[in-house]
Amino acid sequence: MNESFLGGALTINNAIFDALIAGTGAAGYNAAVHLYDRGVSALAILSENRLGGTSRNAGSDKQTYYKVSCAGAEGDSCREMAETLFAGGSMDGDLALCEASHSLEEFFHLVSIGVEFPHNKYGEFAGYKTDHDPRQRASSTGPYTSKHMTERLEAEVMRRNIRIIDKTRVIKVLVDRAVNRAYGVLCLENGKNFVVYLARNIIFATGGPAGIYGMTVYPQEQFGASGVLVKEGVAFANIAEWQYGIGSVAFRWNLSGSYQQAIPRYVSVDKDGVEREFLSRYFSNIRSLSRAVFLKGYQWPFNPEYIQNEGSSLIDYAVYVERHINGNRTYLDFTRNAERNNAIGFFLPDDIDPAAHEYLKRSGALGGTPLERLMRLNPAAYRLYKSHNIDLARDLLEIDVLPQHHNGGAAVNIWWETSIKHLFAVGECAGTHGFRRPGGSALNAGQVGGLRAAKYIAAHLKFDAFFETKDAVEQALEAAGKFEREFVTGGGGNAEDLLRRIQGINTVSAGFLRAMDNIDRGIEAIENLEVELCGVNTENHDPFFRVRETRLFSLLLLGAIRYYIGQGGQSRGSYLIMDKTGGVEPGKQSVPEQSILGLPILGLPFLIDNNFGGSILISHYDPETGQFVHRFRPVHPIPESETWFETVWHEYSTGKIFNGE
């Protein structure tokens, strides 16, 4: 059926899918495979760009997958892993238990389809420790773990002939408000045509909302679609919790692991071309500086707990000040060690911190330049930049402190269903993490979420009579018409320009340094953009929808940060709340107070927060009233689960496990 819509054609497909998945990253593909294998074959995957997304296009020095430890004599258990995840704070215990319990199932699912996680000759999948990990639970296939996962999962999707509908962006979820249920999606195809797909179940696997910021470590291709969920009133959990860290800007890559363990020089260049080693202003001697740089390899995300005592996160802080306050460009230099005339002394291998010294010595990487150390530690790390035309043997590597991961997202229950029935969120667009999480737990959560949603959908499908009594096509037409009416009129703004302005506001107001004044200013500025919102451009509708989604998401995000600070929330996770209440001195050196949009930067005290670790901040936009609503609720504890085999067997085989939430 064809209708006219926003100057183009609107096609409504009469076919009703059992499940539609949005997103061709590791999470979306995995959900599709599990659905198919459980008999749900009226199934399709929609993607704005099959080759886009974070999983396929991002990585790091040693990209980590987190799971229950299964090598060596050191014991581990699902419960212990759940406790580690839960200890991250502001995380639900029931979700932690699910993510831990299915971790080996999903890890070995990936192994079985050909993801080459390494094991020894006896078959032990040896692990290593990642950040916030008390055991050696992490595994990796190298810098491209998530890419390998995506490619192998895609091959499984193709092998099953699951339909992939590419170049199709979901711009609206169709929701029957009377029963609070999703029943389809409205999509934009190739930026121009509109298509409605009807479905009994919809799984969002659209990744992190990277497009709300200007510059990030996310791959350029990833924009995200969390704003589409906001618009429908989906509840979000921990929306304010992001992860930030040092990344390169010319080619987007996070600079963890051996890039820091090689102890490069941190330099800045001012507008007159004068170069200086700016970290020497923050560290009292070469040992503490080299220790902090070395530790950054493991402690990559910015963490306010690692600022004091010249910790590794003081580096992020210093980079920010040097770049955004002092207005200089910031770089890593692998070509030489610190200069003789450096205020803090010579950089000779024997000068460095003993722990770093021992590690480099054992790795046969002591001495020489940072580049020589890098080449001995991890030559692939050098080759990676070379393949993007950056030669670390010659070039300075430009860096900034950048957003990398959204720890929050759509709030989900233990089957990864959102606050709207039959609408699921898996992967990074789901908000299952606490404010602190072990490195690698994002990839695990993405796989487990898809498995859980698939199990639940398969179990409920035959009892779902919704479409038998509904004229869904008529309802979809009505919803699309209502949606269209919102858009026909508009101000004279240019969508791309408006988007850049919102991104700029978020970079300042919702970055890793946060201050109440700044957030108020940010909200006001975004609200004022309303009048400029552009009307439709019939050549390419894409920017037009993106700017509206981003605007709504940003207002919910900034409102959540404001609520958190207003309730007394302090620095935690991966951000610093700047206020004047007193507390820990950030570093011994004090840089004169300066400002960016009024944000006081250094010499200002801050507190580390532990008060809200037992709560989750739930936020939603109310589509009826246009209000943004925020509230804390207590975390769910880790359940005292039933593990008596006969009982579990009965509840599993009768499908009782799927009843209730």
Ligand X SMILES: Cc1cc2nc3c(=O)[nH]c(=O)nc-3n(C[C@H](O)[C@H](O)[C@H](O)COP(=O)(O)OP(=O)(O)OC[C@H]3O[C@@H](n4cnc5c(N)ncnc54)[C@H](O)[C@@H]3O)c2cc1C
Interface with ligand X by CB under 6 A: which residues? 22-28, 46-49, 52-55, 58-60, 63-64, 146, 169-170, 205-208, 217-218, 222, 224-225, 228, 254, 404-405, 427-428, 439-443, 446
The owner of tokens 């500025």 is 525
Rounded-to-integer distance, Cα 376 and Cα 378, Å? 6
Q: CA–CA separation, 209 vs 222, rounded Å?
A: 8
CB of 270 to ligand X, least distance (A): 29
Which CB sits closer to ligand X, 171 or 591? 171
Least separation, in Å, of the C-beta of 322 and ligand X?
22
Residue 380's closest CA among 113, 566, 142, 649?
142
Phi and psi torsions of 168, nearest 5°: -130, 115
Nearer to ligand X, 204 or 612 (CB): 204
| Helix-then-strand count for the chain, H and E | 20, 26
CB atoms within 10 A of CB 326: 15
Give the C-alpha separation, 594 to 418, whole Å: 43
Least Å distance between CB 172 and ligand X? Answer: 10
We find the least distance from the C-beta atom of residue 635 to ligand X, in angstroms, to be 21
Q: In b/e form, how buried is each residue of 362-382, taking b as 16+ CB within 10 angstroms?
A: eeebbeebbbebbbbbbeebb
Q: Which is nearer to ligand X, 28 or 264 (CB)?
A: 28
Q: Tell me phi and psi for residue 164, to 5 degrees.
A: -115, 125
- Residue number with CB closer to ligand X (207 or 311): 207
> CB–CB of 25/150 below 8 Å?
yes
Residues 6+ apart with CB under 8 A from 327: 270, 271
Judged by beta carbon, residue 226 or residue 337, the one nearer ligand X is: 226
Comparing CB distances to ligand X, the nearer of 184 and 586 is 184
b/e per residue 199-234 (b: at least 16 CB within 10 A): bbbbbbbbbbbbbbbbebbbbebbbbbbbbbbbbbb
Query: Smallest gap, in angstroms, from Cβ of residue 57 to ligand X?
Result: 8
User: Please, what is the minimum distance in Å from the beta carbon of residue 553 to ligand X?
Assistant: 12
CB contact burial 295-325 (16+ within 10 A = b; e otherwise): bbbbbbbbbbebbbebbbbbbbbbbbbbbbb
Minimum Å gap between C-beta 525 and ligand X is 25
Least separation in angstroms between residue 282's CB and ligand X is 25
As given in the structure block, the two tokens for residue 359 are 């590690």
Rounded Cα distance, 562 and 517, in Å: 9
Q: Nearer to ligand X by C-beta: 149 or 519?
A: 149
- To ligand X, the closest distance from the beta carbon of 367 in angstroms equals 29
CB-CB contact of 289 with 333 (8 Å): no
d(CA 356, CA 353): 5
Strands across the sheet containing 329-333: 253-254, 242-248, 397-406, 329-333, 265-269, 275-276
106/428 with CB nearer ligand X: 428
DSSP H or E stretch at residue 139? strand 138-139
Which C-beta is closer to ligand X: that of 224 or that of 569?
224
Closer CB to ligand X, 55 or 571, in the complex: 55
Distance of closest approach, residue 486 Cβ to ligand X, in angstroms: 18
Judged by CB, which is closer to ligand X: 330, or 441?
441
Minimum distance from CB of 25 to ligand X (Å)? 2
